[in-house]
């Protein structure tokens, strides 16, 4: 067999390994999307099962966000030192265990602990998966990064549909009271004056909503088996195609970019998770008082258009630059936010505008996370530690924003669209500042390529065009 045939066979084998890893990562992100999205539509049922009101249960978002934060930090430290496939396998298994425990916990604190454990593994998976994709495909990672995050959106879209048969019709403005024998819920939304509807708290031995969490956990375990197979069957890891130019970029520039990206992802992911978690509650307690089926469909509409946007971006990203995609998405989110803030003006006669705004919002939010990573990779090398900084910002947003909204949304449903609009404007302002800092330095691979040409040609003359271009981009 000729040397060229051997090299060709090796190249095809490596490509096959890369594609297989990408498929497995996509399934892992789909499982991650289900794990994140399952909480929103089941939140009111979980609160009712435990015997608390919605604002008290919003504490669980802090617990999950704290775990996500810790998992992101831990991932940045150990991900490059241990077998990444084994680590992702372990993170999926821990996620499955945490989700399984949630519906069986009789107290908010225990639910929070279960979600905190799941959050650690989810933060680990989020950070590690993004880094693995960048290392696997290098400069060509754009479409594959979009595939990963489309898979997350697909999982988040399936979550409300999966949970809908297992959630309960719960009263609206509720208070819980304790007695010697049982915990009961008093509904203040009863239509008959002077009467009180008392609903007994369901048996916690096996609540109906547990099926939604068990199905989600089973999916995580199945995907974990794939990574277990890779970790134990492949003797060699997939070679990295990522070019590391951290030294050439300079620590000062990297710190500025990572600081701004930290804020950007804190705002973006915090808003995304908050909206996805509370759109169901917003629909049921708003002026129109949507039924649980309508609220579930509205929730699914958001995540569905979110998934469609990420699917379309797989192909769009081939021709459209990440920067242009970000600009289009930010304009779309701002437009949708303005329409939603005007909901009281058209709620009675033109309620369909809310559905249009939610669809536009989901479509526009879809590409921001992967496009942001692909865009910043043009200016700085996204290493394990750099990726952990981004996910830490995302985890803080996921932790703080839902907690804040959970305390306020029961009193006024319009808090959700108002918050969305303010956060979107802040995100746009941060993006403008980030773009200014990035363009003041220039793209990292362009500088590296020109310097390599200067070295190869030996054209070091002070007046050479290549050297002048290099000096200009370096700011010399």
Cα 322 to Cα 433: distance, rounded to the nearest angstrom: 16
pLDDT given at position 10: 55
Q: State both tokens at 140.
A: 């060509």
Is the CB of residue 288 less than 8 Å from the CB of residue 416? no
Determine, yes or no, domain membership for 395.
Answer: yes
Indicate the SS3 state at residue 196. coil
pLDDT given at position 461: 47
All residues at 6 or more sequence positions from 45 whose CB lies less than 8 Å from its CB, including other chains:
166, 167, 168, 170, 207, 209
Determine, yes or no, domain membership for 354.
Answer: yes
Show the low-confidence residues of the chain (pLDDT under 50).
Answer: 6, 175-201, 235, 448-476
What's the length of the chain?
476
pLDDT given at position 237: 54
Tell which residue, 322, 243, 224, 242, has the closest CA to residue 18: 242
Determine, yes or no, domain membership for 187.
Answer: no
Cα 90 to Cα 69: distance, rounded to the nearest angstrom: 17
Determine, yes or no, domain membership for 214.
Answer: yes
CB-side neighbour CA atoms (13 Å) of 168: 18
Q: CB atoms < 10 A from the CB of 57, how many?
A: 20
**H-type helices in 201-250, by residue range?**
210-233, 246-249
pLDDT given at position 92: 94
β partners of residue 198: 186
β partners of residue 178: 183
- Identify the burial level of 252 via C-beta atoms within 10 angstroms of its C-beta, where 0-12 means exposed, 13-18 middle and 19 or more buried: exposed
Task: Tell me the C-alpha to C-alpha distance, in Å, between residue 108 and each of 40, 95, 103, 111, 407.
Answer: 16, 18, 11, 5, 15
pLDDT given at position 24: 92
pTM (whole model) above 0.85: no
Count the domains in the chain: 1
- Domain extent, residue 299, equals 11-168+204-442
Instruction: Name the packing angle between helices 384-408 and 108-137 (round to 10°).
Output: 150
Cα Rg for the chain, rounded, in angstroms? Answer: 24
pLDDT given at position 191: 34
Residues 102-113: b if buried by 16+ CB within 10 A, e if exposed? bbbbeebeebbb
Residue 380, domain CATH = 1.20.1250.20
Determine, yes or no, domain membership for 342.
Answer: yes
Is the CB of residue 133 less than 8 Å from the CB of residue 29? no
Determine, yes or no, domain membership for 472.
Answer: no
DSSP 416-441: HHHHHHHHHHHHHHHHHHHHHHHHHH
Which tens digits make up the pLDDT trace of 365-397? Answer: 988 888 888 888 888 877 777 877 887 888 788
Determine, yes or no, domain membership for 4.
Answer: no
Determine, yes or no, domain membership for 268.
Answer: yes
């Amino acid at each position: 067999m000729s040397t060229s045939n051997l090299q060709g066979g090796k190249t095809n084998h490596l490509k096959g390994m890369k594609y297989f890893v990408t498929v497995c990562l996509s399934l892992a992100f789909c499982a991650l999307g289900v794990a994140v999205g399952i909480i929103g539509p089941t939140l009111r049922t979980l609160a009712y099962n435990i015997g608390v009101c919605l604002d008290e249960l919003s504490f669980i978002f802090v617990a999950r966000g704290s775990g996500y934060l810790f998992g992101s930090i831990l991932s940045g430290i150990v991900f490059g030192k241990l077998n990444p496939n084994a680590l992702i396998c372990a993170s999926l298994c821990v996620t499955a265990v945490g989700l399984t425990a949630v519906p069986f916990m009789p107290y908010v604190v225990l639910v929070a602990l279960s979600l905190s454990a799941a959050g650690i593994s989810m933060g680990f998976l989020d950070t590690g998966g993004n880094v693995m994709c960048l290392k696997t495909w290098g400069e060509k990672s754009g479409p594959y990064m979009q595939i990963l995050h489309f898979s997350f959106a697909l999982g988040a879209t399936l979550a409300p549909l999966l949970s809908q048969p297992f959630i309960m019709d719960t009263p609206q403005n509720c208070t819980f009271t304790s007695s010697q024998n049982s915990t009961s819920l008093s509904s203040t939304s009863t239509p008959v004056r002077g009467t009180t509807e008392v609903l007994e708290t369901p048996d916690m031995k096996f609540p109906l909503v547990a099926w939604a969490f068990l199905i989600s956990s089973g999916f995580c375990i199945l995907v974990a088996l794939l990574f277990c197979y890779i970790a134990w069957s492949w003797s060699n890891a997939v070679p990295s195609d990522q070019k590391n130019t951290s030294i050439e970029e300079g620590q000062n520039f990297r710190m500025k970019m990572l600081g701004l990206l930290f804020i950007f992802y804190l705002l973006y992911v915090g808003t995304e998770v908050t909206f996805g978690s509370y759109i169901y509650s917003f629909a049921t307690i708003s002026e129109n008082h949507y039924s649980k089926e309508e609220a579930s469909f509205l929730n699914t509409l958001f995540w569905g258009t979110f998934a469609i946007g990420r699917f379309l971006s797989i192909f769009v990203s081939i021709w459209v630059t990440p920067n242009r995609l970000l600009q289009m998405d930010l304009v779309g989110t701002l437009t949708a936010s303005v329409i939603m803030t005007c909901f009281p003006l058209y709620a009675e006669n033109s309620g369909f505008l809310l559905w249009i705004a939610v669809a536009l919002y989901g479509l526009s939010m879809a590409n921001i996370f992967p496009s942001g990573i692909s865009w910043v990779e043009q200016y700085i090398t996204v290493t394990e530690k750099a990726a952990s900084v981004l996910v830490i910002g995302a985890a803080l947003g996921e932790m703080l924003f839902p907690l804040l909204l959970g305390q306020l949304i029961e009193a006024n449903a319009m808090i959700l669209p108002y918050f969305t609009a303010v956060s979107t404007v802040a995100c746009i302002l941060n993006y403008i500042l980030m773009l200014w800092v990035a363009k003041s330095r220039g793209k990292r691979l362009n500088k590296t390529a020109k310097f390599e040409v200067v070295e190869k040609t030996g054209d070091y003359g002070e007046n050479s065009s290549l050297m002048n271009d290099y000096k200009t981009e370096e700011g010399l």
